[in-house]
Structure 1
Amino acid sequence: MIALTSLLPIVYVCCGLLPLVLVPYSRRHSEKPGSTGLLVALVGLSIWTTAYGIAIASTSSLTILALGSLVIFGSQLAAIGYLFLALEYTDTHELTPRLVGGLAAVVIAVQVLSLSNPLHHRVWGETARPVVDTTATEPLATAIIAVTMAIVGVALLVLVTHAVTTPGVRRRQSLALIAAGFPTLVITVVDIYLIAEYVYSILPFGVITSAFALAWALFRADFLDVVPVGRKRIVEEMDDAAVVLDADDRVVTCNPAARRLVGVGPDYVGLPAERFFDTIPEAIDRFRESGGVDTEITVASDGCRRYFHLQRSRLDDSRTPVLSGRLIVLRDITPLKRRKRELERRESELEFLRQVLARVLRHNIRNDLTAIRGYAELIAAEADGERADLAETIVETSDDLIETSRTARRTEDITDRDAVSEPFDLAARLEAHVAEFRSRYDRATLSFEAPDECLVETDPWLENACEILLESVLERSDEQSPSIAVRIERTTDRATVVIDEDAGLPQAELAVLERGEEMPPELDSGIGFWIVSGIIDRTPASITVETSGGTARISIDVPT
């Protein structure tokens, strides 16, 4: 029968392998704060217990010495990883090269002392298992233990502070991380100082506790899945200048952007606000105003004028009604100011160009085209043969250009006017337009169906949209005898104008109509659809287009 004590080394090794189960999951979240420290801690816990299990099964003194050094290395690696985890997760301190290098130097020094123990006998005690000598005559061994436990203590203090000051999931995560470190620390103290003379250790129970607590933090408390973004890091990296003043208007803290703006060094804490902001006199004047401040100021910097949005907010103590300080935020809006001036300049230029073009299209070109058309009609009436055909072509082209001028005038009217709302009979007005188009487009078949009366209260330009839409459908028709049905469907709260056509309108033009897309250059003759879309956008109405085969249904839905 196998003795229980002979199985303990295997149990210790198995306990040491348990933390490695969490390594793949941690590596998949390597970009999250706390993942680096977690990986280091897991590897350290594994080395710590595995090396111990192998060591107690060994008989060679040199082997025990090497494995004992690994035990110390694993314990210190676990402690340092736990500290890195706490610092990263809480955003208390960055893992700077100086910090990492200093701790690495401590680990290397301890390993040198451990491996050279046969020369000085100041680390390991005379026991059957690798236990450091903590007697009063060997303070070096005690110092090694104290440094390792101090590292864990600092990590626990950081996590406890974070758990006390943060709510919700962040507190739950911090408590889980505390549970991963504190029991192991207690068990280690008991193992070293109370049962050091026994061959077997209770250390694996601490490692198992840490492994399960970390697993709970990962899979139940969403650690590495829901990681809070460090508030300190946000402030440090933000482009806006942020300054915190106390109740006496002395600087408590500020971010790098504020220090760059006012040109102060690292010794800024405690400076009066007037001295801190002495390069921004306008800001000082605004600080003296009572209440909150939300305004713009101008700053002269390096011979250039810069504009800032200044916001001053009260910082109140939740326990007392007394003012505890102020938060000053300065946002550089110089690029926005420049873009605004550029847009205003361009808008002025566009307005001037629009007025010139509108005047030319409305008066000069229209008058000249009317004269040209008149002369062409006279030539067509008096000439015959090819000359008469050419004159008719001139008349038709003139009509097209005059219609383009009229469309441009309509577009100008749409953009210049403000939306209004008034009641009118949509059925009567639309019926009049249908009657007009019947006489103008005798090749088309137009039908109209509507209630006797259809009162709506909306922008009167909606009538123009229906007129332009119907005219555009007739003009853009590819059929010799298009058939177009117009009807109005009325419900209690809305009226819908429906136009069914088989004119074979291009899909690209229908897209312009429904989605208000910018009209491609090759579709400039279909500008009417674009005008209709623009009118609809300025009213509460909506427009939809349904196509099937060579037919299309255009619906304008009008709330009443």
Structure 2
Amino acid sequence: MVGAADVVGVGLASVAIPAFALIAGASKHRSKPGVRGFVVAVVGIGCWSLASGLRALVGDPGVQFVSVVGQLTAVNVTILGWALLVAEFVRRRRIGLWSKPVAAALVIPACTVALAVTSPWHHLVYTSGTVVTAAGFRQFGLGPWYPIHVVYVLSLSIGAAVVLFRELPGSSGFHRRQVTLLFLGWLVGTLGTFDFFLKNVGPWPFAPYVDITPVGFLVGSAVWGLALFRHDLFELVPVGRQTAVETMPDAVLTADVEGRIVDANPAARSLLATDPIRKPVSAVFADYPRLLEHYRDCEERTTDVQILDEGTVRHFSATTTPIVERGQRTGTVIVLRDVSALKRREQELDRHRQVYNRIVRHNLRNELTVIRGNAEEIARRGDGQLTEFAETIRDRSDELIETSEKARRIMRIIEADSHLLTVEGRTLVDGIAAEMREQYPSASIETSGPAEAWVSAHEDLEVAVGNLVENAIVHNEGTPNVEIAVARTGETVELTVTDDGPGIPEHEISVLDRLTETALEHSNGAGLWLVNWIVTKSDGDLDFAVTDRGTTVTVTLQAATVGGDDVTESQELAH
């Protein structure tokens, strides 16, 4: 007749089947870091379940002793496998099994197994067994060495879990899911160990031959298997990312801490016309000392290099990026991006700029000066309508000369690196107002605001505000009324120019918003473009509000703190 112990025994023994199936599934990943630990742990779980099943099925005293020793041995194998799995996962490399740390970790398990086998002579691990079921199941007493075994197993198991848990704060995305699954698998298996304490310390609701610990660890190993097969555990780079690197046009090389190339994508191999693997970085890039200098600095740096490829000089932007894991540099990634087309475009733009500057600065200005001089001579000698025509030519010439000067200034501002100064806003607007009153005595110009308002702005801020004020005056057909206000709002300062003129046309403002012009929609002058670029280079904002009563232009700038050197510099700018 089949009893409950037989059913439990067969059930526990059958746990080995899915365990060994997991081992078979892991075989294709055997070369990857951590898989050895996974296999060792699952082998331990399978043997643990077989020993537990055999102990429940066969009541012979000899078989009972062999089974309990087998359980003890399997426990040690399982926990050692778990520790090896975590160590290789955290270090991202396979660990030498013949190393001193591994030998030290095996001392206590080896002593435990040896003492368990020889327990009938000294009773250090197990004492005599007591039959507790009719089928002959024996409950063995625990000797003085057994607590040492328990403390060691728990310390190694929890210690590995702590090492793994410490990976969570510095992980994200894919790696975080890996760590979480590993930790969850350990937690599920560890919960199964409570049956040992309940059997020996507290009430245990099941028969003494029921051992659920290997079942718990089997579930835990299934979670590890889920990570292994579904989330590609132990892969340093997901398949999609690896495919991107392999197919991207940029040359990508990876060097280890010893300065040897350990990986190169097809683009790198094609560019270098050789296989750089296992070659020193210093040899591969011997002709590029600047790149090697950046590589040795162990910092993320970018430099330009020129490589002769089949008789053609190609320009590359070379970036060196250290690989840092847990605060230690483990390698360097070198990326060579082909910027030849960009360099050609820059050269074309530079030639266009030179032509433009020559035309605007010399040809156009010189010709306009000649035209203006002749117009003045005609106006001086002529009379009546002829004089009016000459004055119109002269005025238009002056406007074109002024526009060319603004265009040259715009080019200078765009090309130059931004250098922000600390400027006192109220002093600046008061100076502009005084200059405009002298230049346009019929205009009414008022200023308002606090006594001081320091801002961080481009060195040509005075030019921008002056242009806004001048535009407000010259485009007003009546008597211009202009107010320049300074106001501080939190961490910004607003400079507003308000007039009662006809307002700025909407298409002029929309052109500035898009920063482009079309044949049908374009700005009539360079003044607003100049203002816009100065404000942009000041890291500020430019806003227009047009109503029936006039226009309000607001320049919003970052408020600045005042230091001794900045005060001197800004006062010189304001005056």
TM-score, normalising length from structure 1?
0.50
Q: Which has the higher contact order (CA 8 A, sep 6+)?
A: 2
